[in-house]
Amino acid sequence: MLITGASRGIGAATARLAAARGYAVAVNYVVRKDAAEAVAADVRKAGRKALTIQADIGKPDEIARLFRTIDSEFGRLDAFFNNAGILSRAAKFVDIAPARLQQILAVNTTGAFIAAQEAVRRMSIRLGGHGGVIVNMSSLAAKLGGAAESTDYAFSKGAIDTLTVGLAKELASEGIRVNAVRPGLIETDIQKDFGIGDRVGKYKDLVPMKRGGTPGEVAEAVLWLCSDQASYITGVLLDVSGGRGL
């Protein structure tokens, strides 16, 4: 399994759970090599092979290098968690600068699109692969809109929903299932990137369960979608949100 953006949060939790479920894991990171190596160490403690690979998902040439490294070190790719994503500080719609929008789309949308292409080239039975599973990282923001905080982020994740459905239809006959998870209010470091303090505490009363979720709860959904237990499921946008968004 390859997990982009795996040095923290949901990506890191998924890497650790993937190892427990029997996967060798490639841990992608951009800057935090120390954090990525800590995740890889936990994968190895679980008795599985781990590899850390630095690559910026906002740069197509680095995405290509990432996948070439998978080819040389793992030989094949069975599951891809297309997880890497960024956001910026909370801002009103009219205050979002073009440079900020372009940066977010470069990673969350264009980068995810190109990374999925690379995964498909390796998995597709039409292209000589053995099939596989792609799980895209969307967000409940794609449904809720990100109003007054992050319409750019929500916009980028709405595209991921569309990509998921389109790929699921196109690739079903090529041995590839494609689904997405849409986390809601999750207790991760990315919440701090909004710059508004305790964001989970601020909004938890909007969640029917009256709490934020954990990275581990999202990781469970990702690993289930990758498993044989989900063998007849493709094109699903799975909300992991404590009931928010209903």
> Would you place residue 46 in the very low, low, confident or very high pLDDT band (cuts 50, 70, 90)?
very high
**Whether the predicted pLDDT of 22 surpasses 90:** yes
The DSSP call for residue 214 is -
Amino acid occupying residue 77: L
In this prediction, residues 28-44 reach a mean pLDDT of 97
Which residue in 225, 227, 180 sits closest to 22, CA to CA?
227
Most distant pair of Cα atoms in the chain: their distance: 50
Distances (CA, A) of 142 to 8, 64, 146, 150: 22, 27, 8, 10
> Would you place residue 32 in the very low, low, confident or very high pLDDT band (cuts 50, 70, 90)?
very high
Which residue in 177, 238, 235, 240 sits closest to 10, CA to CA?
240
> Would you place residue 197 in the very low, low, confident or very high pLDDT band (cuts 50, 70, 90)?
confident
In this prediction, residues 223-230 reach a mean pLDDT of 98
Residue pair 37/44 in contact (Cβ under 8 Å)? The answer is no
Q: Residue 140's pLDDT is what? A: 97
The model carries a pTM of 0.96
Alpha-carbon dihedral sign for residues 69, 117, 55, 37: negative
**C-beta neighbour count of 71 within 10 angstroms:** 12
**Whether the predicted pLDDT of 210 surpasses 90:** yes
> Would you place residue 213 in the very low, low, confident or very high pLDDT band (cuts 50, 70, 90)?
very high
d(CA 38, CA 52): 10
Alpha-carbon dihedral sign for residues 114, 179, 132, 189: positive
Which domains are seen in the chain, by residue range?
2-240 (3.40.50.720)
Supply the mean pLDDT for the chain: 96
232: annotated active-site residue:
no
| Beta pairing partners, 177 | 133
Among 23, 29, 153, 203, which one carries the catalytic annotation?
Answer: 153
Question: pLDDT for 112-122, tens place per residue?
Answer: 999 999 999 99
55: Cα separation from own chain's centroid: 15
Q: Report the percentage of the chain scoring pLDDT > 90.
A: 93
> Would you place residue 5 in the very low, low, confident or very high pLDDT band (cuts 50, 70, 90)?
very high
Give the H/E segment covering residue 98: helix 98-105
Residue pair 5/136 in contact (Cβ under 8 Å)? The answer is no
Q: Report the percentage of the chain scoring pLDDT > 70.
A: 100
